[in-house]
């Protein structure tokens, strides 16, 4: 990201499978909106029902500041410098979403947008459920009809249909304490 010259980037994670032809016209409309509005940090190109949202334009809503995933790694158009400022070395994608959301709340002059619902998505994709916590999701492989390709792309990873990537209890406790501390600090206006 440090080497990209563009002020904006389109983020698509490697486990998102695009399932339909991209609607370039709608994608360009969203990009143009962001290019003209410097207060927009991100427009997440996915969406769903969310309480307390403010409509911005047809199909686009502002994510509330207290949203659990104010920063999320779904397909999105980002202000590159804002995204860089929210990333932290050593964090996993899941930690970036959790802890980056706390950091994002200190950007009072920036707006985080998302689509009102999936009917407005210019890029229809599987939402990243092909790999869950480093394990291939057998249910998603089935839904995508990828069974005949399983041996080609498993790369030695496990294939499971449930109980994805259970963490040791000590790791769960550390993560929950980190979340609790950041939530309490954010109530006091401290974001890290």
- Is the pLDDT at 1 greater than 90? The verdict is no
pLDDT of residue 191: 67
Whole-model pTM: value is 0.78
Least confident of 49-63, 108-122, 152-166: 152-166
Q: Binning pLDDT at 50, 70 and 90, where does residue 163 land?
A: low
Of 22, 113, 21, 30, nearest in space to 74 by CA: 113
- How far is it, in rounded angstroms, from Cα 161 to Cα 123? 26
- Which two structure tokens, joined as six digits, stand for 119? 């009917």
Longest Cα pair distance anywhere in the chain, in angstroms? 53
* Rg (the chain; Cα; Å): 18
Spatial neighbors of 146 by CB under 8 A, at least 6 apart, are 153
């Amino acid at each position: 990201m440090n080497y990209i010259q563009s002020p904006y980037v389109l983020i698509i994670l490697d486990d998102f499978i695009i399932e339909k032809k991209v609607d370039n016209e709608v994608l360009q409309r969203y990009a143009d909106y962001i290019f003209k509005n410097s207060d927009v940090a991100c427009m997440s190109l996915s969406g769903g029902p969310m309480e307390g949202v403010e409509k911005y334009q047809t199909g686009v809503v502002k994510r509330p500041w207290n949203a659990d995933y104010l920063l999320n790694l779904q397909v999105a158009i980002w202000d590159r410098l804002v995204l860089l400022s929210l990333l932290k070395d050593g964090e996993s994608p899941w930690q970036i979403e959790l802890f980056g959301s706390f950091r994002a709340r200190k950007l009072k002059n920036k707006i985080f947008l998302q689509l009102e619902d999936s009917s407005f998505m210019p890029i229809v994709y599987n939402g990243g459920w092909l790999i869950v916590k480093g394990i291939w999701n057998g249910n998603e492989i089935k839904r995508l009809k990828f069974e005949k390709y399983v041996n080609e792309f498993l790369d030695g990873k496990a294939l499971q249909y449930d109980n994805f990537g259970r963490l040791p209890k000590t790791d769960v406790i550390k993560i929950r304490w980190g979340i609790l501390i950041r939530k309490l600090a954010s109530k006091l206006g401290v974001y890290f």
